[in-house]
Amino acid sequence: MLAAGELPDNHNRQFEPSNFEPTTPRVLTILSFVLERIVARNDQLADGLSQQVNGVSYGSARLGKSLNVFHGVRAPNISIPNYLERIYKYTNCSPSCFVVGFVYIDRLVHKHPDSLVVSLNVHRLLVTSIMVASKMLDDEHYNNAFYAKVGGVSNAELNRLEIELLFLLDFGIMVTSRVFESYCLHLEKEMLLAGTNQRIERALVDDVTEISVDDTQTSSPPQVAVVD
């Protein structure tokens, strides 16, 4: 479980790129919190359903058909907060990518109401959507091969997940600053309801601070860190 109290520990962390702000962006904390709640709820729901129909295969098929490709055989050992932190630490993507990645996952479940984000698929969904967000937003970003290493999946699988995500989203990957802001507010509200008052850093955005073009030099360490 994450908690805001974990933050100070991170000050001691070594970040390879030196111009990096040595705190975990709050968005990671908030996003972890929100996702863990969703996953816990959905896991329960999925369990209940599969028991009802007396067959796991039926249950999971019914719940996640469109997300099947994201399903692992068993849930990875790494917790959501640690996974997000790992992605952030190694890929150096901008904090905004986590919000936009969340937007993608949210769009996904809305577009495909038969799908649930559960512990079996949340990691793959996260690494894929954050990677796509980073491709959209960041001036410099790592390539799929690197994200695959960080995310613990094979390059080929991540490529397949990427394409799957793009098509499931119907390529609706534009996130305007208005939408971005509304998601930030939503995430913050969730925290507030949980009794913690935290604000997401609005480093972004619009699809507006996104990209530039020479970001194909993906194997070099990113130099642009938009933190706060």
Partner 1 sequence: MAIAAPGQLNLNESPSWGSRSVDCFEKLEQIGEGTYGQVYMAREIKTGEIVALKKIRMDNEREGFPITAIREIKILKKLHHENVINLKEIVTSPGPEKDEQGRPDGNKYKGGIYMVFEYMDHDLTGLADRPGMRFSVAQIKCYMKQLLTGLHYCHVNQVLHRDIKGSNLLIDNEGNLKLADFGLARSFSNDHNANLTNRVITLWYRPPELLLGATKYGPAVDLWSVGCIFAELLHGKPIFPGKDEPEQLNKIFELCGAPDEVNWPGVSKIPWYNNFKPTRPMKRRLREVFRHFDRHALELLERMLALDPSQRISAKDALDAEYFWTDPLPCDPKSLPKYESSHEFQTKKKRQQQRQHEDAAKRQKLQHPQQHTRVPPVQQSGKGHPQMRPGPTQPMHGSHPPVAAGPSHHYGKPRGPPGGPGRYPNQPNRGGQGGGGGYGSGPYPQGRGPPYGSSSMPGPRGGGSSNYGVGAPNYPQGAPYGGSGPGRGSNMMGGNRNQQYGWQQ
The footprint of partner 1 (CB under 8 A) covers: 34, 38, 69, 102, 105-106, 109-110, 117, 131-132, 135-136, 139, 143-145, 155-156, 158-160, 162-163, 166-167, 170-174, 177-179, 182-183, 186, 206-218, 224
What are the residues whose beta carbons fall under 8 Å from the beta carbon of 66, sequence distance 6 or more? 108, 112, 114, 115, 168
Q: Which is nearer to partner 1, 120 or 184 (CB)?
A: 184
Rounded to a whole number of angstroms, the minimum distance from the CB of residue 167 to partner 1 is 4
Q: Which is nearer to partner 1, 23 or 218 (CB)?
A: 218
The phi and psi torsions of 2 (rounded to 5 degrees) equal -85, 165
Rounded to a whole number of angstroms, the minimum distance from the CB of residue 68 to partner 1 is 10
Rounded to a whole number of angstroms, the minimum distance from the CB of residue 50 to partner 1 is 22
Rounded to a whole number of angstroms, the minimum distance from the CB of residue 8 to partner 1 is 28
Structure tokens of 146?
A: 């690197």
Tally of CB atoms within 10 A around 224: 16
Three-state DSSP string of 43-77 = HHHHHHHHHHCCCHHHHHHHHHHHHHHHCCCCCCC
Rounded to a whole number of angstroms, the minimum distance from the CB of residue 126 to partner 1 is 13
Q: Which is nearer to partner 1, 6 or 164 (CB)?
A: 164
According to DSSP, residue 222 is labeled P
Quick check: 155 and 145 in contact, CB under 8 A? yes
Q: Which is nearer to partner 1, 2 or 131 (CB)?
A: 131
Q: Which is nearer to partner 1, 19 or 182 (CB)?
A: 182
- How does DSSP assign 9-45, residue by residue? GGGG---SSTT---S--HHHHHHHHHHHHHHHHHHHH
